[in-house]
Structure formats: C-alpha cells, structure tokens
Copies of this chain bind each other. A is one copy, B any other.
Amino acid sequence: MYINTHFQQLPNNYLFKEISYRVESFQQTHPDADILRLGVGDVTLPLPKPIVDAMHCAVEELAHPETFRGYGPEEGYAWLRQLIIANDYRPRGVELDLEEVFISEGAGSDLGNLSELFESNNRVAILDPSYPAYVDSSIMAGREIVFLPCHAGNGFVPELPHESVDIIYLCFPNNPTGAVLTRSQLKLWVDYARAHHSIIIFDAAYEAFIEDEDIPHSIYEIDGAKEVAIEVHSYSKSSGFTAVRCGYTVVPKQTGLQAMWMRRQCTKYNGTAYVAQRAAAATYTHPGKASIQSNLSHYKGTALLLSNSLREMGYEVYGGKNAPYIWCRVPKEYNSWSFFDHLLNDCHIVCTPGAGFGPSGEGYVRFSAFSDRCDCEKALDRMKNVG
C-alpha cells in the first residue's frame, strides 16, 4: 500500500506530548517536587450535580428493556439539537434549521474531520499562533498553509490575507492568545470570505467566557455568515465535559456543505454516546445553567487572579478577559521553551510554551484559567519569590 506521505511533513513532536515528556523526566529526577500544572486547557472542577443526575438517569435508561435504546441518529437526537437552537442561537437573533446542527463527540474530532469535505488543493489560512490541530490536519491533507501572524503590534488580531485563501480557521475567543473580535472586526472576515468564496471554520470553543456586549458569541450574528461559515462548539470548556465528550457543529445549508457533512457522518460516525447527549441537554435546564455559570465564574476569577498578579510582577500580559487563557511575554533573557524550563526547574510550575503554537508564539507562554485555584496561588507565590 502507499502511505499518506504528507504525514512525513508533520513536526516531530506534538506539543502536549513534549510537555508531558519534560514534566515526567523532571518528576523522575525530583520525586519530591510538588509540580503545579498551569498549562494545559483541561478543566479541574467536577461535573455539577444537575449534569451528574442526568447522566445517572441516562445510564439507568440503558439498564431496562422498557427504556433501553441503541444507536441514535448519526446527527444526534432532535431534542438536543432543538435545545441548542433555542438556547445558543435564537436569543442572539440567529435562526437555524434542525438539519443544520450536528451533535459530535467533541470539537476536536469535527475540526479535524471537516477537512474531508475539501480537495487537497485548497489554500488554508491559519492564525499564528494557533491550536496545533488546524495546522497538523491541514498538513495531513497536503494543503498549502498561509500563516497570519498575530502579535502585540496588531493586538493579536491578524490582517486579512494578502493572497486569496480558500479555507480560513478562526478561533475567537482565541486559544492561545485570549484575543477576541468585536462584531465589526468579525464582519471583515465574513465579507472577505463572501468576496473570495472562501469557507470559514469558526472554532467557538471558548464562547462561554465572553462578557462584553460588543463581542459576538456566534459568527452567525454577522450578516451573510451562513453562506460562508461552519461553527464548531464544545461543551468541554463551558460545561467541564472534557471526559464526557460532547460538542456540536453547525453547517448551514447556504454553505452548500450540509448534505456532504451529513453523508460524511452517516458513513464514518455512529452517533454520540446517549449518556453524553443527555448530559449536554441538562446544561440547558435552569439548575444546569446556574451550576455552569457558577463554574464559569470560578474560572473567570482564576483568569483575573493570574493576569493581575502576573502584571503586578512586571510581566506583559494579554488575554484573560472574555477568554480563559493568559498570554504572557517571557522576560528578555528567555525564549518560550527556556522560560518553560526555568519555571519547571526553579518553581516546579508547568506552563505552555508559546512557540509550540507557531513561530509568532515564540517569546510567550500560555497560562490557563482552568488550573486549580490553590495551585495558581501557590505558583504565583513561588514566582514572586524566585523573582
């Protein structure tokens, strides 16, 4: 057989595997070190009771012949898709057809698999820095990538591409920089895509952290976006579902891609776990919403603590408002990885080196507001003492 040789173009190490390797090596040589993890974007608060109750109910349904169910629809149960439209879209003035919403087992899978809808000869635009999966899945598909540098000079919001691009990955609130787009800024991208017949794959994983009025929660709040945008959602960060595995993707019919995605899912996906779909539905109940807001407030508090404290220590800090990530410039004598090693060796703190997100991430590290609050407090104390 002939293997997909594009895999050979992939960078050698996956960022989070490399971090794990360095942390484990350090722990082995320093078994007593109390390592504080402030890097990875995994949640730390347990699932709220309304979600847990819904999951127990769903498990119990599968235990009895009267309520047992097997395969669900590949696109997800209609009751969940209706809740999504009624809660996440209609209040923002966005109307969607039921057939345009697809339940998934997570945004990560859909962000990768959507790539299959397009030929390999599409030119892809990706923010630099960005979540590594956009780049890696584009390389696997053999696509040319145009990087759009994001730096302090442009407020981590890139200029429109100078050359014509076909597929545009946008993630706002951004991972890793924490940057956000206003309505008028996002409109520029929708207008570009309409003018160039491009498709925007809009990663809205951090939408729940938005607090300011003029920042859109959905790209479909922008006129014309339904013609040119697919929106990918996760319950991982909003509802703590990183172990539950549920998300959803909106593919409007006006993109011309809805029927293709339906076909793709019917061929290569057997539907999302019933327990996960019931858990997602519980996030839209009154008690579910309240508990999720409480968890989000906690994480927002952690974001504020991290960004304020780092700023007080003299660091140049971005993000952390309307977003769970804090993007921190490293001191002049360091680069991303050497500052990562310094924090690990001297403070026993794990952050995420910005260079792992792309060349423009060099000189930064990412801290995550999903980290344990006590760990953050201890970590900040250690950084103050080391100076």
Contact = CB atoms under 8 A, between A and B. Distances in A.
Contacts of A55: 59, 62, 275
Contact of A68 (B17, B47, B67, B137): B47
Number of copies: 2
A60 B243 CA distance: 13
A49 B63 contact: yes
A37 to B, nearest CB: 11
Contacts of A132: 267
A46 B59 contact: no
A264 B140 contact: yes
Contact residues on A (Cβ < 8 Å of other chain), bracket: 35 or more
Given A70-B243, A245-B105, A133 B273 contact: no
Interface in A81-115: 105-106, 108-109, 111-113
Among A67, A106, A236, the most chain B Cβ lie within 10 Å of the Cβ of A106
A166 B3 CA distance: 10
A383 interface: no
Interface in A131-170: 132-133, 136-137, 140, 166-167
B112 A268 contact: yes
A118 interface: yes
B65 A46 contact: yes
Contacts of A268: 108-109, 111-113, 133, 137
Nearest to A49: B63
Interface of A: 1-5, 7, 10, 14, 17, 40, 42-47, 49, 52, 55-56, 59-60, 62-65, 67-72, 105-106, 108-109, 111-113, 116-119, 121-122, 132-133, 136-137, 140, 166-167, 197-199, 236, 240, 242-245, 256-257, 260, 263-264, 266-276
